[in-house]
Amino acid sequence: MIRVLIVDDHPVAQKGFTEVLREYFDNVEIEAVRSGKQFVENIKPRDYDLVLLAISLPDANGLDILRDIKKKRSHVPVLVISMYPEELYAIRAIRTGAHGYLTKQCEPEELVAAVKTVLSGKKYINPHFANKMVANFESYIERPAYEKLSNMEFQVMRMFGSGKTIKDIARELNLSINSIRAYRLHIMEKIGVKGMEGLIHYALKHGITEYKNG
């Protein structure tokens, strides 16, 4: 029996993942939850063979939850599946503890290949992206400055890039306005820009904005 937990607040995505897994794998048991809180509640008392985790959840950032869960349940393999392209989140997800990363635009066959790879104890990244990373390394292309950001800083920049105000971000993240201002300052220092206009321009240039149901 392969026990899988799907963590995604979008019902279409949940249904799609479920259908693919049941078609390609025998004897699979699937549960689905729609929030970070439900994920934590489900994973504490139970063991899963695989977790499919979205990044954007209604009550949390998936990578923040992943980091916390990995401290307590490091053996649970997690495959992050998101709307965000690999360039923005694949390496960040794996550094946080994920066993693999896929975009939701992937074909069913790639999802199956990724699941098999992760279940075998290995890590999965799209081969095309992996080859691109190797090529960049060999050609000494400088890593983008946004990779220096912490997960929270990256999330705050995504929200600024989507046009949200400091008050909006503070409310959604349940943080003080002063905390968001501090994050904004750290972000601008790390990516080398000045002012909100520079920050937003940088975020838009690099495609760092919020994706719904990511």
Residue 73 domain boundaries: 2-136
Q: Which of 136, 163, 183 is the last residue of a domain?
A: 136
Q: Which of 78, 104, 136 is the last residue of a domain?
A: 136
Burial 95-134 (b: 16+ CB within 10 A, else e): ebbbbbbbbbeeeeeebbbbbebbbeeeebbbeebeeebe
Classify residue 212: in a domain, yes or no: no
Residues 34 and 95 in one domain: yes
Predicted confidence (pLDDT) per residue in 142-185, tens digit: 678 888 899 899 999 999 998 999 999 999 888 999 999 999 99
Long-range pairs for 81-85 at CB < 8 Å and ≥24 separation? 81/8, 81/13, 81/17, 81/52, 81/53, 81/54, 81/106, 81/111, 82/54, 82/55, 82/56, 82/211, 82/214, 83/56, 83/211, 83/212, 83/213, 83/214, 84/55, 84/211, 84/214, 85/207
Residues 108 and 153 in one domain: no
pLDDT greater than 70 at residue 75? yes
Residues 153 and 108 in one domain: no
Residues 6 and 96 in one domain: yes
Model pLDDT, residue 136: 56
- Mean of per-residue pLDDT scores for the chain: 88
Q: What is the rounded average pLDDT of the residues 125-131?
A: 79
Domain count of the chain? 2
Residues 53 and 128 in one domain: yes
Q: What is the rounded average pLDDT of the residues 99-121?
A: 94
